[in-house]
Structure 1
Amino acid sequence: MSLFRQLWLAVIASTVIAFAGSFLASMLTARHYLEHQLAIKNSDNASSLALSMSQLEKDPITVELQVAAMFDSGQYAAVRLIDPEGKTMIEKTSPAMAGDVPAWFIRLFPVASQPGLAQVSAGWNQFGTIELVSHSQFAYQELWDGCLKLVAWFLIGGCFMGLLGMQLLRNIKRPLDAVVGQAQAISERRFIRIAEPAAPELKSLASAMNAMVERLQAMFAEEAARLEQVRREATLDNLTGLANRAFFLNQLEAALSDDDAASNGTLLMLRVADLAGINKRAGRETADELLRRIGGKFAEIAASKPGAAAARLNGADFAMLLPGVQDPTATAEQLLSLLRDLSSAGLIDGERIGHLASGLYRHGQGIGNLLSQIDAALASAENQSGLAWCRAETGCEQHAASNADWKKLLEGAIETQRLRLIDFPVAGNRGQLLHLECPLRLQASENGEWLAAGSFMPMASRLSMTTELDLAAARLALDRVAAGAAAVAVNLSGESILSAAFRSSLQALISSRRELAPRLWLEVSEIGAFQHFAEFHAFCDAMRPLGCRLGIEHFGRQFSEIGRLHHIGLDYLKVDGSFIRAINTQPGNQAFLKGLCSIAHNIGLTVIAEGVQTAEELATLPDLGFDGATGPAVPRN
């Protein structure tokens, strides 16, 4: 039995007991009062009749007329005249009457009418004794009316007290519900604060829960800050804050090998001319300021372009990865303009402050081949006078020449259902299957080739068509689960979760097949989740009650944001493959990933490694705390 039901029963029982006690006391008091009044009345009326009879002649007719006159008033049950010998001389009686008072009430509260006695005299002698007994029907009626009024007032008061008690219990229950909700949220890995109620007892409970949440958040924030520093030391250049060479090459390799990354794009490199000479002529501080200014521009451009990454490869070389960008002219002009400004500002002397090269890459291209082409273009730029930008074109192909062609292609594929999911196993540390990772594939034309998501999703995003594709992917995933798959994970684009209409449509789709929802894993990229965090939060709130598993993929580059995940209620994280590349040989990354797994486990998250390429990488992951992995090194069972 619930606490509040017990409270209600206690309130009802105490109220009924209080009413029963007050009712009984009131009835007994009223009955005693009425009996007393009847006794006084009988005595007074008997005295009055006796006095009247004593003053008159004692002939039988006169005496009987006086007795009859008193009796006929209708208020008496019996009037008797008894002689001194104890014999009844005259007697008038009437049957007992109770009016409309119930018989059970009369039996429960009997009213005794005490007879009134008075002496009738004849001169100095006693003539007889008058005995007078009043009817008790009026007393019963009065007692019954009092009972009805008392019950009526009790019902009115009971209703009022019930409403008041209900409100009071609600006021008590509201903060208790908040505490229960907070505890439930903690079990769902959502760390939320609640308002503290005014009641001291409840306030202390809420304060204790809030203090626990604050301590957990502070602990996570402290640990996250420490790990962020470890990550920066392992993956970033100390001077510019850009990615270092090792981490950038991991990102580049992931872009070239990941089927779901943009299928082509641009790699751009800038080399500062004669950095050693600048150090010698202008000094270390000037050279460092030059590098920081260039690094700041690279970071600014990369932050403005989705998926872009910038790095300082070595002392004089900077690089930028621009996924999906076919024409880097605008970016190159920004960098050339920066170099001109640095030269004109007098930071260093001379026009040959730096050189620029760019090259297009395509999915599957070897990283060595790409870098050698960029190096050759950079050498060509160095041989030119003044500032120079040289291109190293690699002949990337496109499947549609214009936005209109892409729109027609995408609409046709959606309309004719030329969409499918392929699957890759995501395995736990013991080799067990956690789920199937199922990226979407699109057939460009009937009997044509199947395009990876990296080939068409950038254009779908530009044409605002990601919602249709993501809904189709979710529908196909549910079909796969219904066909017997243990669990299926699909990626949803950040643009789709921005749409309230999409969230509503996806919720309706999953609700219609809710029995399949526990085996459906939905994931959003780190960029999509954190760029539009409020919408991502709303997405999680909508999907969580359905039973879906929720996660973030490509996680790690914005690790400092992990504190924002405390109250989201996620189930898993997939760590970006650029952190996993050659993890068996990188102690810095190992320390960062070990801490990441620890803090993720503390908030109940499963941690999965993406893009595992080698058996050595796979063997290293369990010691770091990873729960599972996906990638070419994960065998299919």
Structure 2
Amino acid sequence: MRHSPATMDSLLTKPAGPAIQQTVLLVGPQSDAPPGLLPLLHSLGAQSQHADSGERALEILVAEDIALVLADVALPGMDGYALTQWIRENSRTRHIPVILLSNGVWDAAAIARAYEAGAIDYLGRPVAEPVLSSKVAVLLELDGNRRRLRQAISHIDSTKAYYESMLNAAGEGVIGLDRDGHMRFANPAARLMLKVENDQLVGADYRMFYPFPAGDVPHWEHTPFFHTLRHGKETRIEETIFMRHDRTHFPVSLCVSRLAGNGDGLVIVFQDISQRKALEEALRRQAVTDPLTGLNNRSGFKSAFRIALDRARRARKSVALMFIDLDHFKRINDTLGHAAGDFLLAAVATSIRECVRSYDIVSRIGGDEFSVVLDELDDASSAAQIAGKILTALRCPFRLEDGMQVTISASIGIASFPECSDDVDMLMQAAGVAMYQAKSDGRNLYHFYMPEMNAKARHRLMLEQALRVAVEDDGFFLHYQPQVDIGTGRVVGYEALLRWDHDRIGSIAPSTFVPMLEETGLIIPMGQWVFSTGCRQRHAWNSMLPEQCSLSVNLSPRQFADKNLVPQIQRVLEANQLPPYQLEIELTESMLMSNTEHTRNLLRSLKDLGLKLSVDDFGTGYSSLAYLKQFALDALKIDKQFIDHLTTSSKDKAIARSIIQLGHNLGMQVIAEGVETADQVETLQQLGCDVVQGFYFGRPVPAGEVGRIPQAVAVGAQ
């Protein structure tokens, strides 16, 4: 039971015992004490103790009452970690907070070690005085509160026998019953909660406020009050029901005690817990509800899903679980902002809710991921109709708050009970696998789970894990393919191509692992490695290759968005003493289409470094050519798909001719990729192409084999 606020305040503001004294223990060289600490302690009314070693600190900790420890990690003998662990394991000192100080860098391992030892915080030198002041002041304030509370509790314990009745009665309702269950008295708080006047209450039966469950015969002997009277032991009930004079019920917690001394009766101290119950319910709802959409969150979804499965088992019905993932939602967030994204998510939630039955369970289980549990189905195939309805609804334009209309689509995976599994987690996994299959098959569609999908998903997971290991363990390598001037036959450049051979899977195609690098974000460190390794290799070839022979490196969309790209490239060039004109950056059309301030600034910065810029796979991505006149580009690379049928398809030949003429008219060099036959070379010569690259002139080879490639060939003779 809670105590009267006034009584508790008096106990806390007038504690027994001496005034609070706080001591901060500094462990380490005295000369290394953080500047400004001692004046701070003085201003806070605290004092300091110093120990130059961990062993000396232990002696002080055992002998004195310490409020806070500031300890160096590097100590003679027992280091700061060991000292902290001892403090935490000792029952006398385990409450003392410890801040560890270090002159070194707090890396992840050091931080983990500090927390495992039991440190409450860590700081690196030099310590910023505002940071130190804030942390020390807060910890001393908490220690002071703890000490004051301990004094107050001690004071309460020493006077408990005398003041117990007053403390119990002060803030709660108090009712006195005689041994037969008749009310002798009730304090004002009790009368207010029971909505009864004093003259109506005195002498009345206990049944005025204590209702029995429906159907039970009320007997005094069956109440907790009689139980206390008979056994003489205090009874506490955390939650039961009392009844007001108007017959309405409300929840209470209560304590029943026999009257002290020679009193022959009981005292009931109770508290209305309606507000507490309402708060608990609100917290429970908050714990299972997504605040943005009002739907179940992931926790609420799993709980509701389990209940639905149990109900379906009993009724021998089917249940279908849908996982719904919005396609390319990140683009909306990145382009229109998170406020627009949140507004759209709420609208999508409403749209999905309108597509299902009132008792189906709709949840938002992630950022742009929703789930639907279709309950009590006669046949799981009925889920297909609902899935199609949801896809159609989501394709309708959504109007945002600013009036803009946005069209989206979704990918849906469906798993059914009992066909797929009867386990919640397995069904969730199956629905997720089916959803990713829908994405892989083109998005804006739904898939039912099939066992072979799981094998495919497991293979992808295994491949992704192997990919992470390969990135960490330098499991990738570069091959280099020559680029030949079609007029002179001279090698004018090499393209660096990323390769990966897995010890069990074998050689893995870039078309497989490069998208995975993009999706996982590993393309950033991998891209940096390609730049560094390629530039170092080009510098090593200085004595072997002509000065103007360049190295071209592909840039990924994630690298293009990285704000640190330009300084990283500059550092790589400087570290390898590589002239900028010997490095060519290959971009995709999609990067150049986003004519943003970042794009303009990045391309300008790359050109200012002196790098060459080319457009890779030209003609395959976007129809707009406006970017060609906006940015200072050096070359266009004709995609291999236009070269494959160059000699047999008049359309491909016309496209290649148009790209070559367009590039030349804009002052750009044109490079043809994927050249494999002499007829293709001859046709490209006739069309005026500048540079060719492909198996006809050389396959990609390791760096060690580049020296064997002739640096000039007779193009017309091949």
- By the TM > 0.5 criterion, same fold? no
What TM-score comes out, normalization by structure 1 length? 0.37
Higher relative contact order (CA 8 A, sep 6+): 1
What TM-score comes out, normalization by structure 2 length? 0.33
